[in-house]
Structure formats: structure tokens, C-alpha cells
Amino acid sequence: MKKYFRLSIVMSLCMLLLFPSFACAGEEAVHTVTLEDALQMAYTSNPDIRKANLELEKAQINRDDARDTLDWIPTGGLIDPAVNQVFNLYQQTEIGLTTAKKAQESEKDRITQEVISAYTKVLKDYNTMESTRLTLEDLEHQKRIAGMSMGLGLISELDYQQLESGIKEAQEGLKATRAAYEGSMASLRYLLGQNASWNPVLSSRAVLDTYSRNELSVELSRGTSESVLVWTKKALLDIEKSKETWFLPNTSSDLKKVDLHMAEVSYEQAKRDAKAMIEQLYYGIEATEGQIKAAESALATAQKDLEIAQLKYDIGAISRYSMVPGTDTLSAAELEAETARMDLENLKADLAQMKAQFAYLTGQTPYDPGDWTAVE
């Protein structure tokens, strides 16, 4: 029995030595989260959606109660200020109910664009951190080679010191980018209602390189009527206008005029703010589309250069790391191609984020599944 027990132990050790991955078979799989997953988490846990539902329920009750009061009209008739107030209250609750319905509908869109913004921020900060890490790793390899090169007189002590200085800068840069990544991940956790231990791999990537839009004048016109920034102020203006034709107790006509003018100013200011934001995003999207085209060209060039460098490396024409600064190396071509890929990925994430914000401001759907793809 002991013989078989020892044999099983020896066989197990052999399996672990020959197949290291066998030892990891029981490890927990990496937790990945797509953008769709993140949106569903937000819709389920975000209290603002529940609050909007309750506000709608409250507005419905207020409107129904106000309507019930219209069944009774005192002997003074409609000229009685108290009756005027009852009718005006009903008008206000009707406006409030309409506004609450729109607010409920737009709340989900607001959360959607906020999740997209937070998700893309994590993706971009991770890429920045990873790019800095790869740069540091390459510099550290160069430093090991440079130590031998300086001993052979191929580089000067000044060159070596500059390389050390570059490594220190990259180390500090990596600390900063890691802190930025952790901060953006914390913001996403908060938005999705997750705890501090939630640290998944985000597996969605933006794939859109253009965003079809109408002429700016059309988008501005739609924004000034559909934007949440505007219609909330429009509702307040409608309430003040509803008071004009009624004689309300304890309310002077001068005060009603002041309140009306203030509501008009707020409404006009909201339209101006919405136009400014929409126009800024409109041209920002156009600029990003141009940057994406340039980045796609840069990536194609970098990948071609990497192919050539790989061929040269395979036949021994270049080395992975050079003892002479400034010469072609395979590692430099690999770093250039990976950096170009991440730059393009970040720009597409920027475009997806701006599209979501633009759509929200112009009364459109912020999330389009076709703009995203899942990666392994």
C-alpha cells in the first residue's frame, strides 16, 4: 500500500514539473465584464432610477388629487381667487406629471452615458499604464545591455546615466498611471454599486471609427428641444406662464411677472448652454474621427515595420536589444507597434464616449451595441 502511495506522489510531482499549467487548473478564472454587463449592473443598483420612478408615482398622485378637487366649485364661481388657485394647481400638476415621465425616460439614458464614460476611462487609463510598463521594461533591458556596452567602450558614461534617468522617470510615471487607473476603476465601482474588492478585466472595446450626424444646425435644433438641460427649464417656464391668467390669492401681479421673467431667463440660458455643449462635442467628434484615421495609418506602418524587423531578426540581421544606442532592434519595433495599437484603441474609446454624450444631449439613445466588441 505504501508502495502505491509513494508512486502516486512521484507521478503527481512529475505531472507538476512536466505540465506547470496542471498546477493552476484549480485557480479561479479571470472575471471579465463587458460594457453590456456594466450597464445592467448600473440599471439594477443605481438609486437614481428608483428615485425617478418614485418621483413619477408622486407626480401621478399629485395630479390625481388636484383633478379630484375640480369636482367642487364654490358659489363664487371661477372668479373666486381660491378657485383660480385650484385650477392653476391642477395645471401645474399636469406639467409636473409630463416632466416626471420625461425625467424617468431620460434617467436611464443619463446613467447609460455615465457608465460608458466611466468604462472608457478605465480602458484608457489601463492602456496608458500598460504602455508605461512596457516602456519601463524595455528601458530596463537596455540598461542591462548598456552595462556591457559601457565596459566595451561602445557607449559613454553619460549615455548610461541618461538611460538610468529615463528609467527613474518611467518608474515614477508608472506609479502615477497606476494611481490614475485605480481611481477610474473606483469611480466605475461606485457607479455600478460594487465593493472595493471588485476588480475585473474589462473585455469590451470600441470599434467605431466614424459617427454619422446631421448638419450642425439640425442637431442644435433637436438639442434645444430634446436636451434634458432644456426641457426641465421649459417645464418651470410653463408653470410660471400658467399663473398669468389666474387671480391667485396672496400673489401680486408684479411678483408673477418677476417669476415669469426669471423662468424665461433660465430657459434661454439653458438653451445657450445646451447649444455650446452640443457644438463643442460636434467638432470634437469630427476632430477625433480625423485622429483615428491618422492613428490607423500609423498602426499599419508600425505593424509593417514590425514584420520587417521580425524577418531581420530571424536571419540575424538585427538583435532583440542592441549594445549601440539608436540602432534598429526587434524590441523597439514591438514596442512601437503595441503603442500604436493602444493609441488607436484609446481614440476609438474617446469617440464612443463622445457619441454617448452627444446622443444624450440631443435626445437620442446613448448606447449602440454595434459600436462595441468583446475581446478575449
The per-residue pLDDT for range 109-165, each reduced to its tens digit, is 889 999 999 999 999 999 999 999 999 998 888 777 766 666 666 666 777 777 788
Q: Which residue has the higher pLDDT, 120 or 167?
A: 120
Given this model, what pLDDT does residue 190 score? 92
Mean pLDDT of the chain: 81
Which three-class secondary structure state does DSSP give residue 373?
Answer: strand
In this predicted structure, the answer to whether residue 2 has a pLDDT above a threshold of 90 is: no
28-37, 224-233, 262-271, 338-347: which has the minimum mean pLDDT? 224-233
Residue pair 355/285 in contact by the 8 Å Cβ criterion: yes
- Tell me the pLDDT tens digit for each residue of 291-327: 999 999 999 999 999 999 999 989 988 888 766 666 7
The model's confidence at residue 23, banded by pLDDT at 50, 70 and 90, is very low
Three cell numbers, residue 143: 540598461
List the one residue out of 200, 193, 196 whose CA is nearest residue 126.
Answer: 200
How would you label 260-282 residue by residue, b for 16+ Cβ within 10 Å and e otherwise?
A: beebeebbeebbeebbebbeebb
- Tell me the pLDDT tens digit for each residue of 224-253: 877 777 777 777 777 777 666 655 555 666
Q: Which residue has the higher pLDDT, 349 or 327?
A: 349
Q: What percent of the chain has pLDDT over 90?
A: 42
Contacts of 189 (CB under 8 A, 6+ apart): 195, 196, 198
Given this model, what pLDDT does residue 25 score? 43
The model's confidence at residue 24, banded by pLDDT at 50, 70 and 90, is very low
Q: What's the rounded Cα separation, in Å, for the pair 33 and 203?
A: 6
The model's confidence at residue 329, banded by pLDDT at 50, 70 and 90, is confident
Q: Which domains does the chain have, with CATH numbers?
A: 34-374 (1.20.1600.10)
pTM of the model as a whole: 0.78
